[in-house]
């Protein structure tokens, strides 16, 4: 089984590069994306069991990634939500975790840690399966 990723990112360039990198590096599949809070919350509601990992930016074209994270509160235990942002200050990290994020990574300085987390999620979901 391939890890199914949902991306919430307002920059088309970052979103496309992130999707391409995740699919190439981990063998995961990006199953959907959104550029604003309403789209993200609607997709997540419509596809409640159709994703394994949600990657959420905080600053969106409309609304906030914080509300997207909060809306994932009733997800299955196997589903993980991570925040990938340029504003990973200690207070923001605490707020994200308090709202239900499983991890928070800084886009500028923690991309390797983020990638490692994604790879670990692939292994958790798929075991030693290779694609």
Alpha carbon 81 to its chain's center: 5
All structural domains of the chain with their residue ranges: 4-126
The pLDDT of residue 122: 79
Give 13's Cβ-side CA count (13 Å radius). 0
Task: Give the span between the Cα atoms of 6 and 71, in whole angstroms.
Answer: 14
Note the pLDDT tens digit of each residue in 68-121.
999 999 999 999 999 999 999 999 999 999 999 999 999 999 999 999 998 888
What CATH code would you report for 4-126? 3.40.50.2300
Sign of the dihedral defined by the CA atoms of residues 78, 84, 88, 91, in that order: negative
Question: Which of 21, 103, 46, 82 lies closest to 32, judged by CA?
Answer: 46
Task: Give the span between the Cα atoms of 55 and 123, in whole angstroms.
Answer: 17
Q: Percentage of the chain surpassing pLDDT 70?
A: 95
Given the structure tokens 């987390």, which residue do they identify? 117
């Amino acid at each position: 089984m391939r890890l199914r990723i949902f991306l919430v990112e307002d920059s088309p360039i970052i979103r496309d590069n992130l999707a391409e990198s995740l699919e190439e590096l981990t063998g995961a599949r990006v199953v959907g994306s959104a550029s604003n809070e309403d789209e993200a919350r609607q997709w997540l509601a419509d596809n409640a069991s159709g994703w394994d990992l949600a990657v959420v930016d905080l600053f969106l074209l409309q609304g906030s990634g914080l509300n997207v994270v909060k809306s994932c509160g009733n997800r299955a235990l196997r589903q993980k939500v991570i925040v990938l942002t340029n504003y990973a200050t200690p207070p923001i990290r605490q707020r994200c975790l308090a709202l239900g994020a499983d991890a928070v990574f800084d886009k500028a300085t923690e991309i390797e840690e983020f990638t490692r987390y994604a790879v670990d999620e692939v292994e958790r979901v798929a075991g030693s399966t290779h694609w």
